[in-house]
Structure 1
Amino acid sequence: MRILILLLLAACVLAGLQTWRIGGLSREVDQAQRIIGTLSAGIESRNATITRLNDDAVTRERQEQTLRAQLTQAGQQARVREVHIQRLLNENQEMRDWYGTRLPDGIGRMHQRPAFTSAADYLHWLSGGNELPNPGELTGH
C-alpha cells in the first residue's frame, strides 16, 4: 500500500511537473507566434516596397526612352536647320555678309552667361536684371 501511495504521489509530482513545462512551452509558442506575425508584416512591407520600386524603375525606363527619342529628334532637327542655314549662306552673298558680322554689344552680352554651380546661382543671375542699354545712350564699352 505504501508503494502504491508513493507511486501515486510520484505520478502527481510528474503530472504537476509536466503541467508546468507545458505552461512554459505554451508561453514560448505565443511569443514565437508574435515574432512570426511581426516578421510576416515586415516581409509584406518589404515586398510592397520592392513592387513599388520595380514599378518606378519601369516608369523611369519608359521616360528615359521617350527622352532619348526626343533628343534624337532634336538632334536631327538641328542638323536639318544647320544644313538649311549653310545652304542659304552658300546661295546668297548678302546673307553671308550678314551672318559674318559681329553682334552689337548688348546682344552679345545676352549670349554670355557665367558658369553656374547650381540652379540657385542661375536664378540669382537671372534676377540680377542684366538689362540691355538704351540704344540712344552710349555705353562704356
Structure 2
Amino acid sequence: MTRALAVILALVLALMGWQSWRLNNAGHTIAKQAEALKNNKQELAKKNSQLISLSILTETNSRAQTQLYAAAEETSALLRSRQRRIEELKRENEDLRRWADTPLPADIIRLRDRPAIAGGAAYREWLSKSDAVPPGQVSAAQ
C-alpha cells in the first residue's frame, strides 16, 4: 500500500511539475504577446498620425489646387476680355490698327524667344551663350 501511495505521490508530483512547466511556458508566451501587442499599438499610433498628416496635407493641396484653377479661370476671362477690347479698338481706330499690325522689332522678338530660366546659374549660362555685345573701341589717349 505504501508502495502504491509512493507511486501515486510520485505521479502527482510529476503531474504538478509538468503543469508548473506548462504554466511557466504560458506565462512567457503571454509576456511575449503583451510586448508584441504593445509594439503593434505603438506602430499603429505612428501610422495613424502619419495618415492624419497626409489627410491634412491632401486637403490643403486640394484647396490650393481649387484656388489655382479659379485664378486660372479668372486670368483666362480677363485675357479674353482684353483681346475683345483690343479688337474693338482696332476696328474703331485706323492708326491703332496699323500700329497693331506692324511686326515687332528684332530685339523684342529675340527677347520673347529666350528659354525659361530657373535660377541665377541658368541665367548666367544663357547670357554667356547668347549674342555677346562687341567690346567698344578704345581710342588711345592723346
Instruction: Give the TM-score normalised by the residue count of structure 1.
Output: 0.81
Task: Describe the superposition over 1:69-112 as per-residue Cα deviations: whole angstroms up to 9, x where unpaired.
Answer: 10111011101111111111111111111111121111111111
Task: Describe the superposition over 1:27-73 as per-residue Cα deviations: whole angstroms up to 9, x where unpaired.
Answer: 11111111111111111111111111111111111111101110111
- 1:13 maps to 14
Contact 1:89 1:95 (C-alpha < 8 Å) held by counterparts: yes
Cα distance in 2 for residues equivalent to 1:81 and 1:98: 17
Contact 1:90 1:96 (C-alpha < 8 Å) held by counterparts: yes
- 1:138 maps to none
Report sequence identity in percent.
23
How many equivalent pairs are there?
130
Cα distance in 2 for residues equivalent to 1:77 and 1:113: 26
Q: Residue 77 and residue 123 in structure 1: after superposition, are their counterparts in 2 closer, same or farther (change >3 A)?
A: farther
- 1:77 maps to 78
Deviation at 1:113, TM superposition (A): 2.7
Q: Does 2:27 align with 1:26?
A: yes
- 2:52 maps to 51
Q: Residue 70 and residue 110 in structure 1: after superposition, are their counterparts in 2 closer, same or farther (change >3 A)?
A: same
Cα distance in 1 for residues equivalent to 2:66 and 2:93: 41
Cα distance in 1 for residues equivalent to 2:103 and 2:132: 17
Cα distance in 1 for residues equivalent to 2:60 and 2:105: 47
- 1:66 maps to 67
Task: Describe the superposition over 1:104-130 as per-residue Cα deviations: whole angstroms up to 9, x where unpaired.
Answer: 11111111134x6x957x962x32335
Q: Does 2:64 align with 1:92?
A: no
Question: What's the Cα RMSD here?
Answer: 2.4
Contact 1:106 1:132 (C-alpha < 8 Å) held by counterparts: no
Structure 1: 4+ residue segments shifted above 2 A: 126-133
Q: Which runs of 5+ in 2 are unaligned?
A: 134-142
Instruction: Give the TM-score normalised by the residue count of structure 2.
Output: 0.81
Higher relative contact order (CA 8 A, sep 6+): 1
